[in-house]
C-alpha cells in the first residue's frame, strides 16, 4: 500500500518553451517549499519499558524490524511536547542483528529526536514488535535520529527539472534537494558543473545528454555556482 499524493501534474497539448517551463517550475517550487514539515521534538528521557526484540527467524525473510519502547520524559530540549511519557518506534533489528538500542538498560537516561509516528506512514509497512500493555493516553512517536543505517547522512541528490531544453543565452534555474538515507531533507552544499557535450535538437535547443532522438548537432552549456544553466550553443 502506498499512502501519498500526486500533485502539480500538467498535461499540455503543445510543446512548452523553456522560458515558460522554467517559470512554471519556479512557481511550483515555491508551493513545495511551503509544504508543512512534521513537528520535531528533542527530549531528555529515561527508558522505562521495552518491547520484545524479535529474532531474525521470527521475521524471516525480512531482515529489519521495529520495536516500541516507553520513556519517562525528564525535559523538553527542543520543540513542543506535553506529557510525562512517550512511546517511541525505533529500529530494533538491523540486517538481522539486534540494534544498539536493544542493549540499553531500563533506567538509562537518553536524548531522543522524535517526530509523530503518524507523519511517517512509510514505517507502517515495516515489521513491528509492540508487546507493551495498551495505553492510548501515551503518544506514539518515531525516532528520526537513528535507523537501519545509523545517523543521518547524505545519500541522494534530486535535481529539478530532470530534463530540459535551453535555447542560446536562455537561463534556466536548477534546484537541488539533498536527502539522507531516511529520505529526509539534510543540509548540504552542492557544487554545480556541466559535463562537456550535449545535443542541439531540430528546434535549436540544447539538451545535456544522449537520449534526444532529434539531435541535430553537438551543443554546449554552462552552469554557475547558484545552479543557473545557460545555453551557449543553440543557434
Q: What is the pLDDT of residue 3?
A: 46
187-203 pLDDT per residue, tens: 888 888 766 656 555 55
Report d(CA 65, CA 90) in Å as an integer: 9
pLDDT score of 69 more than 70: yes
State residue 28's pLDDT score.
81
Q: Which residues face 177 on adjacent strands?
A: 158
Would the pLDDT of 140 be above 60?
yes
Residues of the chain above pLDDT 90, percent: 34
Q: For residue 36, what pLDDT band results from cuts at 50, 70 and 90?
A: confident
Residue 38 has pLDDT above 90, yes or no: no
Residue range(s) of every CATH 2.40.50 domain in the chain: 41-143
pLDDT score at 205: 56
CATH architecture of 41-143: Beta Barrel (2.40)
Most confident region among 30-44, 108-122, 211-225 by mean pLDDT = 108-122
Please state the pTM of the whole predicted model.
0.54
Comparison of pLDDT for 2 and 128, the residue scoring more: 128
Amino acid at each position: 500500500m502506498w499512502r501519498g499524493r500526486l500533485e502539480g501534474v500538467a498535461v499540455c497539448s503543445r510543446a512548452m518553451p523553456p522560458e515558460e517551463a522554467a517559470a512554471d517550475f519556479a512557481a511550483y517550487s515555491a508551493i513545495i517549499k511551503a509544504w508543512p514539515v512534521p513537528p520535531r521534538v528533542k527530549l531528555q528521557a529515561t527508558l522505562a519499558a521495552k518491547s520484545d526484540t524479535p529474532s531474525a527467524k521470527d521475521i524471516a525473510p525480512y531482515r529489519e524490524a521495529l520495536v516500541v519502547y516507553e520513556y519517562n520524559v525528564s525535559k523538553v530540549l527542543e520543540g513542543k511536547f506535553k506529557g510525562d511519557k512517550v512511546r517511541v518506534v525505533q529500529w530494533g533489528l538491523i540486517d538481522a542483528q539486534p540494534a544498539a538500542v536493544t542493549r540499553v538498560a531500563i533506567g538509562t537516561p537518553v536524548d531522543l529526536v522524535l517526530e509523530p509516528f503518524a507523519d511517517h506512514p512509510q514505517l507502517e509497512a515495516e515489521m513491528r514488535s509492540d508487546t507493551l500493555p495498551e495505553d492510548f493516553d501515551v503518544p506514539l512517536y518515531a525516532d528520526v535520529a537513528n535507523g537501519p543505517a545509523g545517523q543521518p547522512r547524505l545519500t541522494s541528490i534530486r535535481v529539478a527539472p530532470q530534463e530540459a531544453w535551453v535555447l542560446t543565452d536562455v537561463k534556466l534555474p536548477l534546484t537541488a534537494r539533498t536527502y539522507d538515507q531516511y529520505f529526509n531533507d539534510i543540509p548540504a552544499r552542492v557544487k554545480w558543473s556541466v559535463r562537456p557535450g550535449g545535443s542541439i535538437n531540430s528546434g535549436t535547443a540544447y539538451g545535456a545528454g544522449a537520449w534526444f532522438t532529434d539531435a541535430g548537432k553537438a551543443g554546449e552549456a554552462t552552469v554557475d555556482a547558484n545552479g543557473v544553466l545557460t545555453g551557449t550553443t543553440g543557434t
